[in-house]
Amino acid sequence: MLQYNKKGLGMSPELLQTLITANETQIVAINSALTALSTGVQEYQLDTGQNKTRVTRFDIDKLNTTIQSLINQNCLYNNRLNGTGTVIGRPAW
C-alpha cells in the first residue's frame, strides 16, 4: 500500500527508504549472478528475496538492463527522499 506524506503530496520518506532498500537487495543479487555467469558458470539461481529464478549466460543482457533500471529508480527515489531532484518549470505567460 502506498504511503503518502502528511501533506498528501508524494511518497513518505519511510516508503521511499523501503523502496531503496528493496532495490539495493535486488541489485546485489543480480550483480552476484552477473559475476558468477562471467566466470564461466553456465547456470545460476538468482534469489532476489522475492523469488528464485534460474538464469543462464543468455540472460546477461536482460540482467544488465534490469540492474540499470533499478539503479535509475534508486537515483530517483534518493532525489525525492533528500530533496535533491531537478525541478523543471515553465513560464506562466
pLDDT of 91 reads: 76
Alpha helices in the chain (DSSP H): 13-38, 60-82
Per-residue pLDDT of the chain (93 residues; tens, 9 = 90+): 555 555 545 788 999 999 999 999 999 999 999 999 999 999 999 988 788 999 999 999 999 999 999 999 999 999 888 887 666 777 777
Q: Is the dihedral of CA 49, 50, 55, 61 positive or negative?
A: negative
Segments making up each domain of the chain, as ranges: 13-81
pLDDT of 16 reads: 93
pLDDT of 78 reads: 92
CATH 3.30.1580, domain 13-81, yes or no:
yes
Residue 62, CB-side half-sphere exposure with 13 Å CA sphere: 7
pLDDT of 77 reads: 93
> How many other CB atoms sit within 10 Å of the CB of residue 58?
8
| Residue 11 DSSP label | B
